Amino acid sequence: MNTEKIGGIAFFIGLIVAIVAGLIPGLEITSAVGLIVMAVLAILGLVVGLINLTDKETVPFLVSTIALTVSAGTLSVILGTTTAVGIITSILSYIVAFVAPAAIVVSLKAIYSLASTK
């Protein structure tokens, strides 16, 4: 199995885990199960960041990550925690937990690439 397939599978699994975890009522990020889910998402995010993104995809991925992170935080602050919005913000929180480690890896790879050229 090549690395593109592994990265694609890790991305798909990460999204599914984040959405399902966000839909489970009462699953708080700070609970024991929530922390396990966050750890799984972080590991999957690292896999995606390490093997699934090319140099060409770096800037769009990092811009998308910034937009997702800012909008998820802003949505939860502005709209509060009504039931429907609470589910959406919970899902977004888990998605951000999945994407953030990938963004860190990709940004470090980009910094290294910029620093090493010359």
Q: Say if residue 34's pLDDT is above 80.
A: yes
d(CA 92, CA 114): 31
pLDDT of residue 25: 78
pLDDT of residue 41: 94
d(CA 93, CA 99): 10
Segments of 16-64 assigned E as strands: none
**What DSSP character marks residue 56?**
G
Both structure tokens of 14: 């990460």
Contact (CB, 8 A) for 99 and 65: yes
- Rounded to 5 degrees, what are φ and ψ at 66? -60, -45
Q: Kindly list the distances between the CA atom of residue 51 and the CA atoms of 7, 41, 90, 94, 107, in Å, as whole numbers in the listed order.
A: 6, 15, 27, 21, 14
pLDDT of residue 42: 93
**What DSSP character marks residue 55?**
G
Q: Domain coordinates of the chain in residue numbers?
A: 3-116
pLDDT of residue 74: 80
In the predicted model, what is the mean pLDDT of the chain? 84
Task: Categorize the per-residue pLDDT at 80 as very low, low, confident or very high, splitting at 50, 70 and 90.
Answer: low
2 CB neighbour count, 10 Å cutoff? 8
Q: Say if residue 14's pLDDT is above 90.
A: yes
Least confident of 4-8, 70-74, 76-80, 104-108: 76-80
Mean local confidence (pLDDT), 57-71? 89
